[in-house]
Amino acid sequence: MYIELHPAIVHFPIALITLAYIFQVITVIKPSVVPIHLNLWVLIPATLSTLPAVLSGENAKENLGEICMGARETLEIHQLFANITTWSLLTLTLVWIYITLKGYANQKVQRLLLAFLTLIFISVCITGYLGGELVHIWDV
């Protein structure tokens, strides 16, 4: 019996990346509101949770039967943005940990981190949209 884990697992990184993005926006606008390093404590589990999401997505793709060309194209773009999100988030998290440990996390650096986190958040939104399209339009 095959149990599809991807839909259940994938929502954790989406929620955590969104939360990290919101916390970072608040950190840049009003730094005293968000506890120090809270963003990093949200970003680390967000990064770790992307790995099972991607692996379960790969597993779901392998167990997928024949699908039409439109669904296949959507799936490939979905997979591309999922990989962009995962590798970007992993890189940003490692850099963020380094910056934090070295004590370089001043307000200018926080703005730069927000810029990169914004791009990752956009990538998550695109990935999620395409995933929804696969489910609700293409019935995959």
**Predicted structure pTM score:** 0.94
* Domain-embedded: residue 1: no
CA distances from 136 to 38, 83, 133 (A): 35, 22, 5
Q: Which pLDDT score, from 0 to 100, does residue 123 have?
A: 99
* Domain-embedded: residue 17: yes
* Domain-embedded: residue 119: yes
* Domain-embedded: residue 24: yes
Residue 51 sits in which domain range? 6-60+67-136
What is the Cα–Cα distance from 122 to 49, expressed in whole angstroms? 18
Q: Give the residue from 86, 76, 22 showing the smallest Cα distance to 49.
A: 86
* Domain-embedded: residue 21: yes
* Domain-embedded: residue 94: yes
CA distances from 139 to 6, 68, 75, 132, 133 (A): 15, 11, 12, 10, 8
Give the chain as a 3 state SS string: CCCCCHHHHCHHHHHHHHHHHHHHHHHHHCCCCCCCCHHHHHHHHHHHHHHHHHHHHHHHHHCCCCCCHHHHHHHHHHHHHHHHHHHHHHHHHHHHHHHHHHCCCCHHHHHHHHHHHHHHHHHHHHHHHHHHHHHHCCCC
Give pLDDT tens digits along the chain (140 positions).
Answer: 456 899 999 999 999 999 999 999 999 999 999 998 999 999 999 999 999 999 999 999 998 889 999 999 999 999 999 999 999 999 999 999 999 999 998 999 999 999 999 999 999 999 999 999 999 999 99
Q: Which pLDDT score, from 0 to 100, does residue 3 have?
A: 66
* Domain-embedded: residue 18: yes
The number of domains in the chain is 1
* Domain-embedded: residue 129: yes
